[in-house]
């Protein structure tokens, strides 16, 4: 049996844009649980009280699925993990020459091995279950690597983790290293944490499983340091395809991908395996004809497994430049979810209806002077992409328009001229307070309603 521990909420926080709030972390954890992960890795509680609170919230949201939190081989770090209620601590320490020079200058190998024993023993005394990782395992001398793992296991670690921290290894090398660990560390579960710097993380993960690793560390969309790590959806579906591990609900993988992509401002590209928009889109005439007769001719698994359908519809922007010029139409905001009819006329300037394939939405609203602007016509909402508000008053210098803008849990008084950038995943809205002018809204999606991220469990 292969087990998956997803580390989106830890490794993903170390990506270029990964900053998950407590609420976002709880949503992601809930979807991970429903999709069938065996464990969740979340955070480094010793960072501070906010991180400790976030990990604690994920522990509660995960229910019976165990949560593991990160800690250096340091007593303070380990005690912070214990305060979160997490069942597991992931203790890590590098012992190779690179680590000793760059992070632990002056420490001898014996001193580091003593830290391994002391930290694991202390965690066990606190009632924590322990996974021990030798950081940069793939560049660590085999003898020193095995000795560190054996010391950790003797002190009470139930699982050891081989980390290809720089993503350097190839499948045949992974097979050799994991097979060696299995022989020399009998009775201890082996996990692999594989970075994707060379684009080999998934191949290496499958090789590790074949060589005897029982756990694989993943993240949604492969999110993580630099090029990230093994992609959760890709690994999970490949294991199901092999018949060695079943997904609880594969239809949740797209939702997970979009939500994590939005919250990290790092959406997967359209060709990404399993979750990409275009993976069941057939274009070549030969392929289209074949798929219409026999879907399996050019599909490696049934789209329905992922809650998807295949398509042969033509896409892309017209090559005729005249088609790019739009005659704006006045359309009420009632066509949008979370919206009601607003003040003045709403002109739709562009979306996929007017320029197929544009993948952008832009409207202009001409706001008149009113005695009462009311409570506002827009409820707060969230997009899976970045968007923009622009406020231009009708007075000189575009002054004269007053609005309130909600961003997350804060409300700002805004005077025109002004623009408001709204990162993907952030709840937002606005209401007119006074004056007259023009409001522009630009969203990086061609279908407004499809760009909305609804609260989990809602029927919106």
| Total domains present in the chain | 3
Residue ranges of the alpha helices (H) in 279-413? Answer: 285-293
Q: What is the torsion angle, in degrees rounded to the nearest 10, for the CA atoms of residue 340, residue 344, residue 347 and residue 352?
A: -10
Output the pTM of the full model: 0.93
Tokens 């609260």 — which residue? 455
Confidence of residue 107 (pLDDT cuts 50, 70, 90): confident
User: How many Å apart are CA 370 and CA 378, to the nearest integer?
Assistant: 17
Amino acid 101: pLDDT:
80
Query: Facing residues of 71 across strands?
Result: 91
Q: Using N-to-C axis directions, what is the helix angle for 201-211 and 171-184, rounded to 10°?
A: 30
Does 295 share its domain with 418? no
Q: Catalytic positions, please?
A: 287
Amino acid 210: pLDDT:
97
Residue 271 lies in a domain: no
> Does 94 score more than 90 pLDDT?
yes
Does 235 share its domain with 294? no
Question: Do the beta carbons of residue 454 and residue 460 sit within 8 Å?
Answer: yes
Tokens 């997490």 — which residue? 86
pLDDT tens digit string along 421-441? 999 999 999 999 999 999 999
> Does 367 score more than 70 pLDDT?
yes
pLDDT tens digit string along 111-170? 999 999 999 999 999 999 999 999 999 999 999 999 999 999 999 999 999 999 999 999
Amino acid 358: pLDDT:
95
Cis peptide upstream of residue 409 (ω within 30 degrees of 0): no
User: How many Å apart are CA 294 and CA 195, to the nearest integer?
Assistant: 37
> Does 62 score more than 90 pLDDT?
yes
Q: What share of the chain is helix, strand, coil (3-state, %, to 5)?
A: 35, 25, 40
Question: Do the beta carbons of residue 352 and residue 316 sit within 8 Å?
Answer: no
- Quick one: DSSP state of residue 135? T
Residue 74: both structure tokens together: 């340091």
Confidence of residue 459 (pLDDT cuts 50, 70, 90): low
Residue 418 lies in a domain: yes
* Sequence-distant (≥ 6) Cβ neighbours of residue 390 within 8 angstroms: 418, 419, 420, 439, 440, 441, 442
Residue 164 lies in a domain: yes
Residue 161 lies in a domain: yes
Does 253 share its domain with 306? no
Residue 98 lies in a domain: yes
pLDDT tens digit string along 388-409? 999 999 999 999 999 999 999 9
Amino acid 102: pLDDT:
78
- In the chain, the N- to C-terminal Cα span, in Å, equals 38
Does 252 share its domain with 332? no
Residue 270 lies in a domain: no
pLDDT tens digit string along 212-232? 999 999 999 999 999 999 999
Does 120 share its domain with 220? yes
Does 200 share its domain with 297? no
Does 199 share its domain with 301? no
pLDDT tens digit string along 309-330? 988 887 789 999 999 999 999 9
Does 76 share its domain with 155? yes
* Sequence-distant (≥ 6) Cβ neighbours of residue 50 within 8 angstroms: none
User: How many Å apart are CA 364 and CA 438, to the nearest integer?
Assistant: 7
Does 103 share its domain with 176? yes
Residue 273 lies in a domain: no
Residue 347 lies in a domain: yes
Residue ranges of the alpha helices (H) in 250-310? Answer: 253-263, 285-293
User: How many Å apart are CA 170 and CA 29, to the nearest integer?
Assistant: 31
Please give the C-alpha separations between residue 282 and each of 253, 279, 302, 307, 354, in angstroms, as whole numbers.
21, 8, 14, 17, 24
Residue 385's domain is classified under what CATH number? 2.60.120.10
Question: Do the beta carbons of residue 35 and residue 256 sit within 8 Å?
Answer: yes
Overall average pLDDT of the 26-46 stretch:
97
pLDDT tens digit string along 234-281? 999 999 999 999 989 999 999 999 999 999 999 999 999 999 999 888
Confidence of residue 348 (pLDDT cuts 50, 70, 90): very high
Using DSSP's 3-state secondary structure scheme, residue 433 falls into: strand
Determine the structural domain holding residue 348 and report its residue range. Answer: 321-451
Average pLDDT, the chain: 95
Please give the C-alpha separations between residue 366 and each of 345, 440, 442, in angstroms, as whole numbers.
6, 9, 15
Does 254 share its domain with 154? yes
Using DSSP's 3-state secondary structure scheme, residue 21 falls into: coil
Question: Do the beta carbons of residue 252 and residue 31 sit within 8 Å?
Answer: yes
Confidence of residue 458 (pLDDT cuts 50, 70, 90): low
Confidence of residue 460 (pLDDT cuts 50, 70, 90): low
Does 53 share its domain with 167? yes
User: How many Å apart are CA 27 and CA 21, to the nearest integer?
Assistant: 10
Residue 131's domain is classified under what CATH number? 3.20.20.70
Does 390 share its domain with 310? no
């Amino acid at each position: 049996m292969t087990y998956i521990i997803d580390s989106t909420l830890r490794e993903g926080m170390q990506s270029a844009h990964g900053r998950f709030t407590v609420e976002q972390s709880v949503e992601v954890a809930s979807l991970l649980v429903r999709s069938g992960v065996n464990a969740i890795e979340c955070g480094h509680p010793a960072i501070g009280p906010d991180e400790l609170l976030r990990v604690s919230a994920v522990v509660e949201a995960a229910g019976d699925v165990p949560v593991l939190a990160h800690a250096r081989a340091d007593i303070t770090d380990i005690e912070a993990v214990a305060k979160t209620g997490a069942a597991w601590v992931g203790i890590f320490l590098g012992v190779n020459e690179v680590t000793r020079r760059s992070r632990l200058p002056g420490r001898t190998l014996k001193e580091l091995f003593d830290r391994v024993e002391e930290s694991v023993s202390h965690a066990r005394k606190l009632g924590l279950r322990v996974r021990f990782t030798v950081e940069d395992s793939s560049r660590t001398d085999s003898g020193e690597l095995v000795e560190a793992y054996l010391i950790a296991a003797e002190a009470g670690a139930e699982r050891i983790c081989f980390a290809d921290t720089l993503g350097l290894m190839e499948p045949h090398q992974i097979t050799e290293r994991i097979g060696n660990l299995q022989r020399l560390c009998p009775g201890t579960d082996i996990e692999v944490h594989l970075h994707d710097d060379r684009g080999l993380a998934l191949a290496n993960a499958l090789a590790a499983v074949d060589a005897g690793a029982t756990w694989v560390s993943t993240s949604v969309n492969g999110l993580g340091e630099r090029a990230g790590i093994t992609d959760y959806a890709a690994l999970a579906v490949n294991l199901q395809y092999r018949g060695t591990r079943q997904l609880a609900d594969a239809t949740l993988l797209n939702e997970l991908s979009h939500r994590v992509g939005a919250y990290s401002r790092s959406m997967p590209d359209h060709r990404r395996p399993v979750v990409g928009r275009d993976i069941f889109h057939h274009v070549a005439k030969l392929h289209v004809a074949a798929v219409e007769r026999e879907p399996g001719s050019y599909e490696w698994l049934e789209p329905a497994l992922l809650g998807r359908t295949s398509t042969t519809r033509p896409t892309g922007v017209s090559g005729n430049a005249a088609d790019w010029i739009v005659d704006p139409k006045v359309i009420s905001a009632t066509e949008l979810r979370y919206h009601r009819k607003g003040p003045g006329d709403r002109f739709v300037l562009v979306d996929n209806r007017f320029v197929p394939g544009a993948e952008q939405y832009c409207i202009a609203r001409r706001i008149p002077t009113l005695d009462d602007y009311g409570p506002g016509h827009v409820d707060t909402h969230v997009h899976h992409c970045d968007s923009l508000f622009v406020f231009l008053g009708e007075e000189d210098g575009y002054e004269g328009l007053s609005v309130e803008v909600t961003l997350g849990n804060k409300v700002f008084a805004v005077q025109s001229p002004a623009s408001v950038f709204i990162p993907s995943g952030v709840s937002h809205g606005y209401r007119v307070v006074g004056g007259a002018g023009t409001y522009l809204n630009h969203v990086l999606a061609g279908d407004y309603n499809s760009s909305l991220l609804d609260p989990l469990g809602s029927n919106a």
